[in-house]
Amino acid sequence: MNDATPITIAQNRAVLDRLPFADTQDFHDARRGFLGTLPEVEITSAEGRLVWSLRDYAFLGDETAPPTVNPSLWRQARLNMSHGLFRVTERIYQIRGFDISNMTVIEGERGIIVIDPLLSTEVARAGLALYAEHRGRRPITALIYTHSHVDHYGGVRGVVDEDDVKAGRLEIWAPDGFMEAAVRENVLAGTVMVRRAQFQFGATLPKGPRGQVDAGLGKVTSRGTVTLIPPTRTIAAPIETHRLDGVEIVFQLAPETEAPAEMHMFYPELRALNLAENATHNLHNVYPIRGAQVRDANAWAKYLNEAMERFGRGADVVFAQHHWPVWDTPRVLDFMAKQRDLYKYVHDQTVRLMNHGHKAAEIAERLTLPRSLGTTWHVRGYYGTLSHNAKSVYQRYIGWYDANPANLNPLPPVERGRKYVEYMGGADAAIRRAREDFARGEYRFVAEAMSHVVFADPANTDARRLGADALEQLGYAAESATWRNAYLLGALELRQAQPASAARAPVSPDVVHAMSLDLFFDYLGVRLDGARAEGRRLVINWVFPDLDRRYVLNLQNSALTYLADRQSDRADATVTLDRPTLSRLLLKEVRLDDGLRSGLITVDGQSSAVGELFGLLDDFTLMFEVVEPKRAS
């Protein structure tokens, strides 16, 4: 890894003059209520594998940012080092710094209510043990998922025994649509999202001043066991009030905001407001660069406005499932108003400029925060950015096409790269010009130009090195942790081979078990290799006796379609199996022929038709190429 260039150093030094670094209120808030923590917060799995550690972030003890890190991001990275058990207010506690997200504990009359059990079981278990060490062991009387992202439910089996849920000894609460959203996002596009998330979170980057320093929303994601226990109670009305273990909770649904299924909670007797992940200490993602459906920034602002109007004046503290709280009613109202106006501004100004005919890239380039928000720390773009959020609002309304017919059907990257290099006068001429631009600090264009050369010829080491150098300087200057991580991982993968995967599996067993049958057949459809299925025609009935459900699956024209609660009298085969066996097939815990021999699966008709279907399914490889052409398989 290289040093920061003089141009990058000057860019980062200028940040010190633009932002109010003398304002240290966030550091006081991040430490307020601290009760205790674990030494270096190192957590391992039962097999001894390290799933979470803050040891490698010791370099953040230095208050002064090095030249290779944007000072604003350095400040956020240091704030995100606050870890341990914290008292939020009477009867409300949070475990922070044990994952990218927080786990909240509310003390009730008989036990405790746990909110969002982190991403993996090992860190959730350690967090609950830390709470018990300082507050005593108490039974869990209820568990709440605030929304459908994995870092807010994946550790559930680390704190809850499913037998207690099945026996009715505790209930799991979630917003309407939780299961569909949680399962669908992790299945249909799971593989590509996990690979892209490596660039967003920088999990495969070395930690350090020239590598990963933070993820904006927290340090990084834990690498433990991901689980899911389906909720037993659902909040379906826009506003619902319930008393859980003696604690009155007013639930406010906020769908299609930071997650498709999300909700806020107000605890009137405790004068505390939980905004889930809709108001944190950064500009969030209207679209995360790992990939997801674009979120509704207008609805986001609307639900924050409703929460502020309904609950804000009755709250002495507002907190979220990331970062640290804000105390005192006037500060609560100011925080909420600025968060609300942030998303409304991004939405409205993007749509305004869009209606003037500006293209997404043009809007992203010219959009800046208004002066009234520009020096407010909690709206800075550590996670989302004005740039890619503006492009996301544009995409939500009118899609990827900018209406210029020249961009309607461009060449794919390899062919485009070859033509660009040809037009530039060859790779050597392109690299010579790019070195001149690099010396002038024109890193954005150098990265783009060298990407064309690499896609034209991935073996061109000079282009790879220069492209990596440009990405590295862009990373060093980025205020957004996610942009920094993406730039630096891109540089790393240009310089050396792709690292071995350190990411969780795209689909965990609990998610597979939780899939609806409709989603299972959708998943089969996206795994069908269309070219290999050319000319094949199959009709297969499926019978699930344990669920009393029937499906008919149709393969025709290289497409898989299905109908629920139907059977075809022209089927090539009828497959009968229980739902758990279907999960085992999908997880490859049992092979089709073994299931047939053991009687777990029975087939009436042509058993070869079922084997033919499974033989047409594709398998996904996680570590596909990103910054260079995909190698032929």
Query: What pLDDT was estimated at residue 47?
Result: 92
- Quote the CA–CA distance of 255 and 31 in Å, as a whole number: 32
Considering only 1-10, 62-71, 163-172, 494-503, which range has the smallest mean pLDDT? 494-503
In 158-315, where do the E strands start and end? 171-175, 233-235, 239-244, 247-253, 263-267, 272-274
Pick 410-495's CATH classification: 1.25.40.880, 3.40.1170.60, 1.20.1270.10, 3.40.50.300. 1.25.40.880
Rounding to the nearest 10 degrees, give the CA dihedral for residues 342, 344, 347, 348: -120
Q: Is the Cβ–Cβ distance between 389 and 363 less than 8 Å? A: no
> Do strands 112-115 and 549-556 pair parallel, antiparallel, or not at all (unpaired)?
unpaired
- Quote the CA–CA distance of 444 and 344 in Å, as a whole number: 29
For 370-389, the pLDDT digits (tens) are 999 999 999 999 999 999 99
Q: How confident is the model at residue 151 (pLDDT cuts 50, 70, 90)?
A: very high
- Quote the CA–CA distance of 224 and 218 in Å, as a whole number: 16
Q: Residue 42: pLDDT above 90?
A: yes
Helix 427-439 / helix 413-423 crossing angle, nearest 10 deg:
80
- Region 97-107: what's the mean pLDDT? 98
Fold observed for domain 509-615: Nonspecific Lipid-transfer Protein; Chain A (3.30.1050)
- Region 388-407: what's the mean pLDDT? 95
Query: What pLDDT was estimated at residue 500?
Result: 64
Grouping H, G, I as helix, E, B as strand and the rest as coil, residue 253 is strand
Q: Is the Cβ–Cβ distance between 98 and 41 less than 8 Å? A: yes
- The DSSP string of 560-576 is EEEEET---TT-SEEEE
For 450-476, the pLDDT digits (tens) are 999 999 999 999 999 999 999 999 999
What percent of the chain lies above the pLDDT cut of 70? 99
Q: How confident is the model at residue 285 (pLDDT cuts 50, 70, 90)?
A: very high
Query: What pLDDT was estimated at residue 541?
Result: 97
Average pLDDT over the chain, rounded to whole? 95
What percent of the chain lies above the pLDDT cut of 90? 88
Query: What pLDDT was estimated at residue 509?
Result: 87
How do the domains of the chain map onto residue ranges? Answer: 6-389, 410-495, 509-615
Query: What pLDDT was estimated at residue 627?
Result: 86
Q: How confident is the model at residue 117 (pLDDT cuts 50, 70, 90)?
A: very high
- Quote the CA–CA distance of 243 and 556 in Å, as a whole number: 53
Pick 6-389's CATH classification: 2.120.10.60, 3.90.1300.10, 3.20.20.370, 3.60.15.30. 3.60.15.30
Grouping H, G, I as helix, E, B as strand and the rest as coil, residue 93 is strand
For 527-564, the pLDDT digits (tens) are 999 999 999 999 999 999 999 999 999 999 999 999 99
How far does Cα 492 stand from its chain's mean position?
22
Q: Count CA atoms closer than 13 A to 405's CA, side-chain side.
A: 0
Query: What pLDDT was estimated at residue 505?
Result: 52
Query: What pLDDT was estimated at residue 176?
Result: 98
Q: Residue 502: pLDDT above 60?
A: no
Q: What are phi and psi of 578, to 5 degrees?
A: -85, 160
Query: What pLDDT was estimated at residue 630?
Result: 85
- Quote the CA–CA distance of 347 and 49 in Å, as a whole number: 44
Nearest to 205 by CA among 458, 490, 9: 490
Q: Residue 237: pLDDT above 60?
A: yes
- Region 414-424: what's the mean pLDDT? 96
How far the first Cα of the chain sits from its last, in Å, is 31
6-389 and 509-615: identical CATH topology: no
Q: How confident is the model at residue 192 (pLDDT cuts 50, 70, 90)?
A: confident
Token digits of residue 416:
């485009």
Higher pLDDT pick, 39 / 344 = 344
Q: How confident is the model at residue 631 (pLDDT cuts 50, 70, 90)?
A: confident
The angle formed by the CA atoms of residues 257, 261 and 266, to the nearest 5 degrees, is 80
For 51-93, the pLDDT digits (tens) are 999 999 999 999 999 999 999 999 999 999 999 999 999 999 9
Distances (CA, A) of 131 to 126, 287, 526, 592: 9, 34, 43, 46
- Region 98-119: what's the mean pLDDT? 98
Grouping H, G, I as helix, E, B as strand and the rest as coil, residue 463 is helix
Question: Which residues are 561's β-sheet partners?
Answer: 554
Nearest to 577 by CA among 540, 543, 612: 543
State the DSSP code for 59: G
Token digits of residue 49:
């594998």
Q: Residue 501: pLDDT above 70?
A: no
Higher pLDDT pick, 241 / 189 = 241
Question: Which residues are 240's β-sheet partners?
Answer: 251
- Quote the CA–CA distance of 84 and 36 in Å, as a whole number: 6
Grouping H, G, I as helix, E, B as strand and the rest as coil, residue 219 is coil
Q: How confident is the model at residue 506 (pLDDT cuts 50, 70, 90)?
A: low
Model pTM score: 0.94
Q: What are phi and psi of 317, to 5 degrees?
A: -150, 140
- Quote the CA–CA distance of 468 and 625 in Å, as a whole number: 15
Q: Is the Cβ–Cβ distance between 85 and 95 less than 8 Å? A: yes
Q: Residue 483: pLDDT above 60?
A: yes
- Region 298-304: what's the mean pLDDT? 98
- Quote the CA–CA distance of 130 and 84 in Å, as a whole number: 8
Q: Residue 511: pLDDT above 90?
A: no
Token digits of residue 117:
């059990």
Q: Residue 418: pLDDT above 60?
A: yes
For 574-587, the pLDDT digits (tens) are 999 999 999 998 88
- Region 584-591: what's the mean pLDDT? 88
Query: What pLDDT was estimated at residue 250?
Result: 98
- Quote the CA–CA distance of 317 and 274 in Å, as a whole number: 9
